[in-house]
Structure 1
Amino acid sequence: MKTLSTHKGQVMPLNRVNVDTDAILPKQFLKRVERTGYEKFLFHDWRYDDNGEENENFVLNDPRYKGASILLGRDNFGSGSSREHAPWALEDFGFRVLIAPSFAEIFYNNCFKNGILPIVLKKEEVEVLFEKAFNIDSYSLQVDVKQQTIRDDDQLIYHFDLEDSQQERLLKGMDDIEITMKMDSEIAKFEKERRSWLTPKRA
């Protein structure tokens, strides 16, 4: 998993509440077995019309936000199913940071497992960021995971909270398997010391 310590990127404002995982990545694209290649399906039903043409009224297709890597959302971002495909699609497209007043809990945790930083800010702070993203060309933010701060070029600074384990995941780029492997010696010791009757017999 990619590490994330600091990130500077342009902000794309997605001005919708209750964006669920079916909107982020519709169910018809869940048959893929790979964990990559989902970027072209991100927000598919909003991004394209019935003829498969780009919907020029959807923010992801707005040339003003081309190359954005920070997604700004509204309340309850990521509601819906527990699948990790939605974070996969966001990360594949290039979003490393998500900012909203609230996230669905499972989606929030899945983001950390996939190298994405979901930041919870106060509603009034999010509102300020929306106003700037709408009105300032190429509006960008500098995010610092260790300091847990967000800054822009106009002296704005906001603080956000992370648990130590969430911060460590991002700073060290560790997924669930890598976190488990940190305990390799303890696991080996347990396996060696457990009683013999607990060890499966070989055929």
Structure 2
Amino acid sequence: MQPFKTLTSLAAPLDRTNVDTDQIIPKQFLKRIERTGYGDFLFFDWRQTPDGKPVADFVLNDPRYAGAHILIAGKNFGCGSSREHAAWALSDFGFRCVIAPTFADIFFSNAGKNGILLVKLGEEEVGILLSNAQTIPGYKLTVSLEDQTLTDGQGFSAKFEVDPFRKFCLLEGLDDIGLTLRHATELDTYEAQHDEAVWLKAK
């Protein structure tokens, strides 16, 4: 998992509340066995019409936001089913940070385990960021996980809270497997001792 320390990027405004995981990655794409390739289907039903034509006014189809790694959204982002594919789709598309007033609990956990920093700010602050991203060409934000700050070049500045354990994992680039492998030596020693004990008992 790629470490997250400081990110400066274009910010894409998704001015919608209650964005659920079935909109983030629709159910018909959950049959894939890989963890990659989901970015092509992110917000699939919002990005195109039923006959496959791009929806011109959807934010991710707007060339002004091409290459954005920060997504700004309304409250209760990631609600609905607990599919981890939602985090995979956002990450595969290129988003490393999502800013919103509130997030669904399971999505919050899944996102952190997949290297996505979720920043909770007040609704008024998020409203300012949404407005700025919609009206200021090339609007960028800088997110510092180490300092737990969010700033722009227009005078906006905010502090955000983050769980210390999740902060450590993101800074170090550690997912669940990475956390386990930090103890690889101890695990190998235990396995060797266990195997020897089983062999001696069988003699």
TM over 0.5: yes
Q: 1:103 to 1:189 in 2, by over 3 A?
A: same
Alignment size in residue pairs: 201
The equivalent residue for 1:69 is 69
Change (3 A) 1:198 1:22: farther
Cα distance in 1, alignment partners of residues 9 and 41 from structure 2: 22
Question: How much is the aligned-residue C-alpha RMSD, in angstroms?
Answer: 2.1
State the AA in 1 paired with 2:140.
Answer: S
Q: Aligned partners of 1:47, 1:170: CA distance in 2, in Å?
A: 30
Cα distance, 1:197–1:51 mapped onto 2, change above 3 Å = same
Residue in 1 that maps onto 2:97 = 97
Deviation at 1:48, TM superposition (A): 0.7
2:170 aligned residue: 170
Task: Give the equivalent residue in structure 2 for 1:5.
Answer: 5
Quote how far apart the aligned CAs of 1:186 are.
Answer: 4.7
- 1:132 aligned to 2:132? yes
Instruction: Note if 1:43 corresponds to 2:39.
Output: no
Q: Give secondary structure in 2 for the equivalent of 1:131.
A: helix
Secondary structure of 2:109 counterpart: helix
Deviation of 1:171 after TM superposition, in Å, equals 0.9
Give the corresponding residue for 1:54.
Answer: 54
How far does the alpha carbon of each residue in 1:112-161 deviate from its partner, in whole angstroms, 9 at most, with x for none?
A: 11111010011111111111111101110011010000110122211011
TM-score, normalized by length of structure 2?
Answer: 0.91
Report the CA distance between 1:82 and its aligned residue: 1.5
**How far apart in 1 are the matches of 2:163 and 2:91?**
21
SS at match of 2:132: helix
> Quick one: which amino acid aligns to residue 159 of structure 1?
K
Q: Give CA deviations for 1:165-200 in whole Å, capped at 9, x if unaligned.
A: 111111111110111222345545666777x9999x
Misfit runs of 4+, over 6 Å: 196-199
Q: What does residue range 106-121 of structure 1 map to in structure 2 within 5 Å?
A: 106-121=106-121
SS at match of 1:146: coil
CA distance in 2, matches of 1:174, 1:150: 23
Q: Could you tell me how far apart the structure 1 residues matched to 2:79 and 2:44 are?
A: 17
Could you list the per-position Cα deviations for residues 62-111 of structure 1 after superposition, in whole angstroms to 9, with x for gaps in the alignment?
A: 12212211000001000112221111111111111100000001101111
Residue type at the aligned position of 1:28: Q
TM-score of the aligned structures, taking structure 1 as reference length: 0.91
Instruction: Please say if 1:24 is aligned against 2:14.
Output: no
- Which stretches in structure 1 are left out of the alignment for 5+ residues? none
Question: CA 1:186/1:31 → structure 2, altered by over 3 Å: closer, same or farther?
Answer: same
